[in-house]
């Protein structure tokens, strides 16, 4: 069957609301809070199985001095595939263990039988088990130099070429890229950068416009806050008020003991610095709630019920203050971290660099790709992110990033996208549907001019 999913679809959520957002707390955060996320691997439905394979991948696709390779993990499910022209649905791996995304991407599994498609889930370099330098992959800036989206996309092209050349019947298979969040950004850029490799891409919840001069840096936090505010504005107000309440009550030893006991913390708070870190921990929890607010029970980031924010807000629907506010908020943390009742305490100091989501790599990439990290008006956030990376690298290791405007590498993003059923003709004879108005085009043109300059922090 010919693949009908050859459209480039970007599902973006960028809007703001009147409620106060959670963003202000992130500007003080040292870096993305280290929530101890367990490795959640949900059993697949009957018949939804895959094979785990490895490909000898080049460490450097763009130079000649580095000729080493590493084992790049990928997963293959070909039980639905028609060897006589069936397409390949290719998932561009995110910042984590590829099994997590494979087992949480139901859409690809749902449509694979309809399209007689082969499913391939490729793991992103420096995440999961695809470590270019083994246990020393995060040793210093020399090795982290190979952790870029450009190298990752080149990995995908090499892997697809290998699959097509070694699996009988795959040579003529069209490839469609799929991805969500950062993986969605990769799938969109994959189509832009390598249109000869993939005939289309589907990018879900992918902030492909999230760059300086195109999208306001607060947009992500506005979206997260809006998810809570749709349930209750009072719930959001209570959550924001809890920060100052924690600082007031945590000003003495008795208050620190009360907070530690109320939230069932594995490691008690012992100072105001701990209170600030705990506030960052709560901020990350709110974001994760929003990212996992599914209409059905799920275990992507944590074991949660359907519509978890609706459940979480039940204890925060009326204005609260003082200790009653913190007692109510503790029910929110207990729901997220102990919905199954198996946890003995809340590990707020837990290491976020787990097998599922490796934060060390994402801290590093965020410095080079996040518009938030480059926005002059968020200098506190920039300094916090820089400090975070310095903390996770070797003692004394210095990395001073400069702005890397992706518009230079993926510049066609700001122009036209062909929305058609079949692959795009390179002779431009087919009609391209315009998706940007004059104002948007001018804004992007100005952005591309700015992107040609070199910024320093």
Write the CATH number for 109. 3.40.50.1820
Whether residues 327 and 436 fall in one domain: no
Tell me how long the chain is: 457
Average pLDDT over every residue of 123-143: 90
Number of structural domains the chain divides into = 2
Report yes or no on 82 lying in a domain: yes
Q: Are residues 75 and 193 in the same domain?
A: yes
Mark whether 92 and 3 lie in a shared domain. yes
The answer to whether residue 385 is domain-embedded is: no
Tens-digit pLDDT profile for residues 28-41: 333 333 344 443 44
Q: Which of 312, 337, 362 is the last residue of a domain?
A: 337
Q: Are residues 207 and 140 in the same domain?
A: yes
Q: Tokens 């959001």, residue? A: 236
% pLDDT > 70, the chain:
67
Give me the pLDDT at residue 45, please. Answer: 56
The mean pLDDT value for 142-153 works out to 90
Tell me how far apart the alpha carbons of residues 427 and 180 are, in angstroms, rounded to a whole number. 31
What average pLDDT does this structure show over 100-107? 87
Mean pLDDT of 41-56: 74
**H helix or E strand, kind and range, residue 332:** helix 322-337
On whether both 203 and 67 belong to a single domain, the answer is: yes
Based on the domain organization, do 200 and 264 belong to the same domain?
no
Q: Is residue 148 in some structural domain?
A: yes
Domain that holds residue 150: 1-16+39-215+404-457
What is the reported pLDDT for 367? 59
Decide if 395 is inside a domain.
no
pLDDT of residue 363: 66
Q: Which residue has the higher pLDDT, 258 or 360?
A: 258
- pLDDT of the residue at 191: 93
> Could you report the per-residue pLDDT of 189-202, keeping only the tens digit for each?
999 999 999 999 99
* More confident: 1 or 298: 298
Domain boundary among 282, 309, 337: 337
Domain membership of residue 450 (yes or no) is yes
Mean pLDDT of the chain: 75
- Output the pLDDT for position 403: 41
Nearest to 25 by CA among 243, 250, 348: 243
Three-state SS for 241-270 is: HHHHHHHHHCCCHHHHHHHHHHCCECCCCC
In this structure, what is the dihedral angle of CA atoms 250, 253, 255, 259, given to the nearest 10 degrees? Answer: 80
- Laid out side by side, the sheet with 51-58 consists of 9-11, 200-204, 175-180, 88-92, 118-122, 69-77, 51-58
Residue 353 scores a pLDDT above 60: no
Residue 103: inside a domain, yes or no?
A: yes
Helix, strand or coil, per DSSP, at residue 420: coil
91 & 8 share domain: yes
- Co-location of 100 and 191 in the same domain: yes
Rg of the chain (C-alpha set): 23
Choose between 11 and 138: higher pLDDT: 138
Q: CA distances (Å), 171 to each of 56, 328, 412, 443, in order?
A: 20, 58, 28, 41
Residue 199, pLDDT score:
92
Task: Indicate left, alpha or beta for 278 from its phi (over 0: left) and psi (-120 to 50: alpha).
Answer: alpha
Six token digits for residue 319: 């204005």
Do 78 and 157 lie in one domain? The reply is yes
The yes-or-no verdict on residue 187 having pLDDT over 90 is yes
Q: Read off the CATH number of the domain in which 303 is found.
A: 1.20.120.980
- How far the first Cα of the chain sits from its last, in Å, is 51
Per-residue confidence at 357, pLDDT binned at 50, 70, 90? low
Q: Are residues 188 and 249 in the same domain?
A: no
Q: How confident is the model at residue 48 (pLDDT cuts 50, 70, 90)?
A: confident
Residue with the larger pLDDT of the pair 107 and 10: 107
Give pLDDT tens digits for 368-394.
Answer: 554 333 333 333 333 444 444 444 444
Q: Are residues 418 and 445 in the same domain?
A: yes
- Judged against a pLDDT cut of 90, whether residue 421 lies above it is answered with no
pLDDT of residue 375: 36
Instruction: Kindly indicate the confidence band of residue 302, based on its pLDDT and cuts at 50, 70 and 90.
Output: confident
223 or 55, higher pLDDT: 55
Residue with the bigger pLDDT between 451 and 286: it is 286
> Mean pLDDT, to the nearest integer, of 429-440?
39
Q: Answer whether residue 155 shows pLDDT above 60.
A: yes
What's the confidence (pLDDT) of residue 21? 53
Out of 322, 337, 352, pick the residue that ends a domain: 337
Residue 1 confidence (pLDDT): 35
State whether residue 58 is helix, strand or coil: strand
25 pLDDT higher than 80? no
Residue % of the chain over a pLDDT of 90: 47
Average pLDDT over residues 132-155: 90
Q: How much is the pLDDT for 194? A: 94
Question: Are 183 and 49 in a shared domain?
Answer: yes
């Amino acid at each position: 069957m010919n693949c009908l999913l050859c459209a480039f679809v970007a599902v973006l959520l960028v809007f703001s609301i009147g409620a106060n957002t959670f963003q202000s707390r992130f500007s003080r955060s040292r870096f993305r809070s280290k929530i101890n996320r367990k490795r959640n691997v949900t059993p697949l439905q009957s018949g939804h199985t895959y094979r785990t394979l490895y490909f000898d991948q080049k460490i450097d696709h763009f130079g000649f001095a580095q000729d080493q390779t590493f084992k790049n993990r990928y997963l293959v499910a070909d039980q639905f595939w028609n060897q006589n022209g069936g397409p390949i649905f290719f998932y561009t791996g995110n910042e984590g263990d590829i099994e997590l995304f494979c087992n949480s991407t139901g859409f690809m599994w749902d449509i694979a039988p309809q399209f007689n498609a082969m499913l391939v889930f490729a793991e992103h370099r420096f995440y999961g088990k695809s470590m270019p330098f083994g246990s020393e992959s995060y040793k210093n800036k020399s090795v982290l130099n190979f952790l870029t989206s450009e190298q990752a996309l080149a990995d995908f092209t090499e892997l697809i070429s290998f699959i097509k050349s070694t699996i009988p019947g795959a040579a003529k298979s069209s490839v469609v890229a799929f991805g969500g969040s950062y993986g969605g950004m990769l799938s969109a850029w994959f189509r832009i950068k390598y249109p000869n490799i993939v005939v289309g891409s589907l990018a879900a919840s992918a902030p492909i416009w999230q760059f300086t001069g195109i999208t306001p840096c607060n947009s992500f936090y506005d979206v997260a806050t809006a998810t809570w505010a749709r349930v209750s504005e009072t719930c959001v107000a209570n959550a924001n008020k809890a920060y100052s309440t924690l600082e007031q009550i945590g000003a003495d030893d008795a208050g620190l003991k009360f907070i530690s006991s109320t939230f069932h913390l594995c490691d008690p708070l012992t100072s105001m610095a701990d209170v600030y870190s705990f506030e960052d921990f709560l901020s990350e929890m709110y974001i994760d709630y929003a990212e996992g607010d599914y209409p059905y029970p799920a275990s992507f980031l944590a074991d949660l019920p359907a519509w978890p924010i609706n459940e979480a807000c039940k204890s925060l629907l009326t204005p609260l203050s003082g200790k009653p506010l913190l007692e109510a908020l503790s029910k929110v943390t207990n729901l997220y971290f102990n919905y199954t009742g198996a946890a003995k305490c809340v590990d707020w100091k837990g290491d976020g660099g787990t097998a599922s989501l490796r934060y060390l790599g994402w801290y590093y990439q965020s410095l080079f790709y996040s518009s938030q990290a480059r926005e002059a008006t968020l200098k506190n956030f920039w300094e916090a992110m820089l400090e975070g990376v310095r903390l996770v690298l070797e003692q004394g290791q210095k990395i001073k990033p400069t702005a890397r405007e992706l518009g230079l590498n993926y510049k066609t993003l700001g122009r036209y996208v062909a929305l058609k059923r079949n692959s795009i003709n390179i002779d431009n004879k087919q009609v391209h549907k315009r998706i940007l108005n004059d104002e948007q085009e001018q804004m992007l043109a100005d952005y591309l001019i700015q992107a040609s300059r070199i910024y320093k922090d």
